[in-house]
A and B are shown apart, each in its own frame.
Chain A
Amino acid sequence: MQATQIDGETWVRIAQSADLDIPRPVMPITLQGRRLVLFRDDDGQLGLIGRHCPHRGADLCYGRLEDNGLRCPFHGWHFDRTGQCVEQPAEPEGSVMYQQIKVPMVPVIERDGEILALLGSELEQSAGKETGK
């Protein structure tokens, strides 16, 4: 894996920008055994977040890319590019449980047509170490 040092931090190439030049820019990424999902939101910004929905573990790689984020098809929980849950449409009206729910997020940058992810504490803390498929 190609590593780049930027300001003393280690970033690795995880994809080409062109990989996401598709109608639905979402792709699975496995980085150091961590299962993640990479997507581009309506703002054109990238999100690299844990692949399993923090609700009951559904696979967000099949998520609905809509409303400027990724929505789990199981119960409609919606996540923005930072991994923050912003909506739980099956929970009772007025519930604020979503504010406490966040999928681990790994920082990414895009430069010279390449997408780089930060190897650091965020990745280490991200859930979903591969546990068999």
Chain B
Amino acid sequence: MISEELNKRITRVGPGTPAGAVLRRYWQPAALIEELEHGARVPVNLMGERLALIRDDAGQLLLATRVADADEAPTHYPPSDQIQIDADGPTYPVVQRAGAVFAYLGGGTPPAFPDFDCFRAPDTHVFAFKGLWECNWLQALEIGIDPAHASFLHRFLEDEDPDQSYGKQFRDKAGSTNIPMTKLLRDYPRPDILVDETDYGLKITALRHMEDGRTHVRVTNQIFPDAICIPMSREMTITQWHVPVDDRTCYWFTIFTSFDKPVNKELMRAQRLKEHSLPDYAPLKNRANDYHYDPSEQASLTYTGMGLDINVHDQWAVEGMGAIQDRTQEHLGRSDVAIIRYRRLLRRAMDALEQGADQTLLMQEDETANMRGPLSNDAIAQSDDWRNASHQADMQRRAACPWDASV
């Protein structure tokens, strides 16, 4: 449990807020590149600011403030010709990377982009998409640094054929075995969770010790301040930002990165468009229709009764907490160790900015441009060798990769 005051401090992100100041020190995904087809002006709603992507006289893309009504919906998306630019409002630089338009709202010189896999891989090997969640960004991020929930929330009471799993999370085989991930997660629901502080945020290792003397090792990452990097399948990783639209609404922006074959973007996009409506990328299953909850499915097929798409499970979990989770009522357990560690990082960063110690923030130095990885993978190893085996599994994948994925 935390106090109401602290909960407010770590969740609110509008201009002038301490957490908002931290998020603004980092490049944030503001739009998908495909949104540029909307017209000369593309609405962007980011961290409580009402903005639009426009081009300056030199044809350079930038983010400007747009004139907005006070009662606009959080994801209001007016046609291009109805967007009026507020000439007195701030403008911000943007950069197009890996299928997304990233914006820097921090003022001053933006930090370098880290040389993470999602930014290094060629365009053929990355695919970006986004989706709307109607809740505060922090609870959206916290579910992504909670390795235990996958054994419950995403539990499948039957296993699908992993060969039919392209583009889906937790449907591959585990490590180099023929065990479906769904079965492994179900059979071993009490992972040991190790959290290491790194130069980019947190490395989170979930160990599931199996009965036969082997251990399943799942390495995921928190990339400060609002992203995660996790394995999706043997072939792909997910780098995902949880970007505030305002205090009560956020987008997940994901860059899927493939180590081996080019991403089948057409299939990836079709799979996701089937579940979302444009132009605001709002999920078709949502609170208003009970997430298509089906009690008979919950009894026989999935843990939630909300279908096979794990994104919907996560969306239900975080939206159901209320727009801003009331953390004065929470009871964190051992499975929440990464959440506890993350909040410590965030508080440290907020304090540092308030005290003018900007230089202590993560990933602000020039060396950030040389940061690689992070390692994100699933492996199964003899229990006494898990650390080495996990590392080796990632190195093998990187060595076989057609683009330079060396670390």
Contact = CB atoms under 8 A, between A and B. Distances in A.
B296 to A, nearest CB: 7
B87 to A, nearest CB: 35
Chain A contact patch, size range: 20 to 34
Contact of A75 (B148, B296, B321): B148
Contacts of A75: 148-149, 152-153, 335
Interface string B182-214: 000000011110000000000000000000000
Interface in B270-287: 287
B16 interface: no
A58 B314 CA distance: 10
Interface stretch (A12-20, A40-48, A83-91, A114-122): A83-91
Interface string B313-343: 1001100111111100111111110000000
A56 B149 CA distance: 11
B333 A88 contact: yes
B190 to A, nearest CB: 6
A91 B334 contact: yes
B254 interface: no
Nearest to B331: A54
B170 interface: no
B220 interface: no
B134 to A, nearest CB: 9
B14 interface: no
Contacts of A131: 322-324, 326
A34 interface: no
Interface residues of B, number: 41
Given A73-B303, A75-B152, A90 B333 contact: yes
Given A89-B189, A90-B190, A101 B331 contact: yes
A74 B148 CA distance: 9
B333 A55 contact: yes
Contact of B329 (A74, A97, A127, A132): A127
A92 interface: yes
A74 B317 contact: yes
Given A75-B148, A90-B189, A133 B322 contact: yes
Nearest to A91: B333
B396 to A, nearest CB: 31
A57 B326 contact: yes
Contacts of B323: 131-133
A128 to B, nearest CB: 7
Interface string A57-91: 11100101000000001111000000000001111
A115 to B, nearest CB: 20
B153 A62 contact: no
Contacts of B151: 76, 90
Contact of A24 (B152, B248, B295, B316): B295
Given A74-B153, A76-B152, A52 B331 contact: no
B329 A58 contact: no
B91 interface: no
Given A52-B329, A90-B189, A101-B331, A74 B152 contact: yes
A77 to B, nearest CB: 9
A57 B320 contact: yes
Contacts of B324: 131-132
A79 to B, nearest CB: 13
A90 B148 contact: yes
B152 A73 contact: yes
Nearest to A50: B329
B65 interface: no
Contact of A92 (B190, B293, B317): B190
Given A91-B190, A132-B323, A56 B298 contact: no
B122 interface: no
Nearest to A22: B295
A73 B331 contact: no
A23 interface: yes
A106 B248 CA distance: 30
A90 B295 contact: no
A56 B295 contact: no
A92 B149 contact: no
A23 B296 contact: yes
Interface in A17-37: 23-24
Contacts of A4: none
Nearest to A98: B333
22 contacts: A24-B298, A54-B330, A55-B331, A55-B332, A56-B325, A57-B139, A57-B320, A57-B330, A58-B317, A59-B321, A62-B304, A62-B306, A74-B149, A74-B317, A90-B190, A90-B333, A91-B335, A97-B333, A128-B326, A128-B329, A132-B322, A133-B287
Interface of A: 23-24, 52, 54-59, 62, 64, 73-76, 88-93, 95, 97, 100-101, 127-128, 131-133
